[in-house]
């Protein structure tokens, strides 16, 4: 089992959004893509991903610049997929490739905030929004379209960041409540709404007594998921969007995690007791 670990890496400086944009637009890959007649956003994404592959440490991990390039390189696809997923006419099968795209973006974001724990949500937000606007604006035909596009991408990034913040801190609260938590989920698990596995009955051994959980941003959203899909186990992270807006990093203080652990324990025990998961292997 892969257990939740936190890498204590701190960097004093990271590239600003303006530097990220300049680095990508000055790259050979960007110039070549533009010469081939590719759309500006496509050229920007290809060049960003190429730079991301170059930015690694001696141990093979991405540098802060590498993570930034990788995330910026995916932001146009994320915006496109998010728009498609809002459609009420899409079949569940048609949604899958778009959900996978968002899942992979989340994996990159999680890797970055795990590795560089002094990052603030506001810093990452600017890192994503400013390059998007700088490149997308050339395709906007009016001020009204600009307001709509900026509003849509800002809302989408805010939703992603709040979800990531809630998941990271939800895991901390579950740990503070005394449970073993396994964060090593597959992409297919995530498509089913599984963020993590919690070992509810260690006495059953390593392979039994695990419950899949899906962190939600409010108690009401968790209830809605559990009512609509009885086999799901959605839990509220015990944190609000207002707390997220005030956050200076992606992790709450250990004291706050401990203070919220009792309510989390009651929530988990109720879901497990009402389910039939005790003899289900992980």
Residue 69 in domain: yes
Which residue, 116, 139, 162, sits at the end of a domain?
139
The last residue of a domain, from among 139, 158, 193: 139
Say if residue 24 is in the same domain as residue 97: yes
Q: Is the same domain home to 93 and 186? A: no
Residue 84 is part of which domain span? 17-139
| Contacts (Cβ under 8 Å, ≥6 apart) of 13 | none
| Residue 145 covered by a domain | no
Residue 177 Rama label (left phi>0; alpha psi -120 to 50; beta): alpha
131 and 22 share a domain? yes
Same domain, yes or no: 101 and 215: no
Question: What is the predicted pLDDT for the residue at 281?
Answer: 43
Measured N-to-C along each axis, helices 121-136 and 92-115 cross at an angle, to the nearest 10 degrees, of: 130
Confidence class for position 275, pLDDT limits 50, 70, 90: low
Domain check: are 49 and 127 in the same one? yes
pLDDT digits (tens, 9 = 90+) for 161-174: 999 999 999 999 99
- What's the pLDDT score for residue 84? 92
Residue where a domain stops, chosen among 139, 159, 192: 139
Angle at Cα 193 formed by Cα 187 and Cα 198, nearest 5°? 90
Does the residue 189 lie in any domain?
Answer: yes
Q: Is 90 exceeded by the pLDDT of residue 263?
A: yes
**Co-location of 130 and 208 in the same domain:** no
Same domain for 132 and 23, yes or no, is: yes
Give 3's strand partners. Answer: 182
Are residues 23 and 133 both part of a single domain? yes
174 domain residue, yes or no: yes
Residues 89 and 200 in one domain: no
In a domain, 261, yes or no: yes
| 96-110: average pLDDT | 95
Question: With the C-alpha atoms ordered 245, 248, 252, 254, is the resulting torsion angle positive or negative?
Answer: negative
Name the residue with tokens 């974001």: 109
116 and 196 part of one domain: no
Q: Determine, yes or no, domain membership for 282.
A: no
Q: Contact, 189 vs 196, CB < 8 A?
A: no
pLDDT digit string, tens, across residues 124-161: 999 999 999 999 999 999 999 999 999 999 999 999 99
Whether residues 53 and 125 share a domain: the answer is yes
- pLDDT at position 7: 39
Looking at the fold, whether 125 and 22 belong to one and the same domain comes out as: yes
Instruction: Judge whether 99 lies within some domain.
Output: yes
Q: Tens of pLDDT along 215-255?
A: 999 999 999 998 887 677 999 999 999 999 999 999 999 99
Domain count, the chain: 2
Could you tell me if residue 151 is inside a domain?
no
């Amino acid at each position: 089992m892969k257990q939740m670990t936190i890498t204590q890496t701190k960097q004093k400086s990271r590239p600003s959004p303006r530097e990220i944009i300049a680095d990508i637009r000055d790259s050979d890959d960007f110039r070549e893509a533009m010469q081939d007649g590719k759309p500006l956003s496509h050229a920007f994404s290809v060049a960003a991903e190429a730079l991301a592959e170059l930015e690694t440490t001696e141990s093979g991990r991405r540098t802060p610049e590498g993570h930034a390039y990788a995330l910026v390189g995916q932001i146009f696809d994320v915006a496109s997929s998010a728009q498609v997923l809002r459609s009420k006419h899409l079949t569940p099968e048609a949604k899958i490739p778009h959900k996978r795209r968002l899942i992979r973006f989340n994996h990159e974001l999680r890797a970055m905030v795990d590795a560089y724990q002094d990052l603030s949500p506001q810093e990452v937000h600017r890192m994503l929004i400013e390059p998007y606007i700088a490149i997308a604006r050339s395709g906007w035909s009016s001020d009204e379209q600009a307001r709509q596009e900026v509003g849509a991408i800002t809302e989408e990034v805010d939703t992603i960041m709040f979800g990531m913040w809630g998941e990271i801190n939800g895991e901390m609260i579950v740990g503070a409540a005394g449970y073993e938590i396994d964060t090593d989920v597959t992409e297919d698990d995530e498509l089913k709404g599984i963020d993590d596995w919690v070992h509810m009955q260690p006495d059953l051994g390593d392979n039994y007594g695990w419950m899949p959980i899906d962190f939600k941003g409010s108690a009401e959203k968790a209830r809605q998921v559990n009512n609509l899909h009885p086999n799901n186990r959605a839990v509220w992270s015990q944190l609000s969007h207002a707390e997220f807006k005030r956050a200076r990093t992606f992790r709450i203080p250990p004291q706050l995690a401990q203070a919220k652990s009792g309510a989390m324990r009651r929530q988990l025990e109720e879901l497990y007791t009402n389910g039939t998961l005790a003899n289900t292997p992980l």
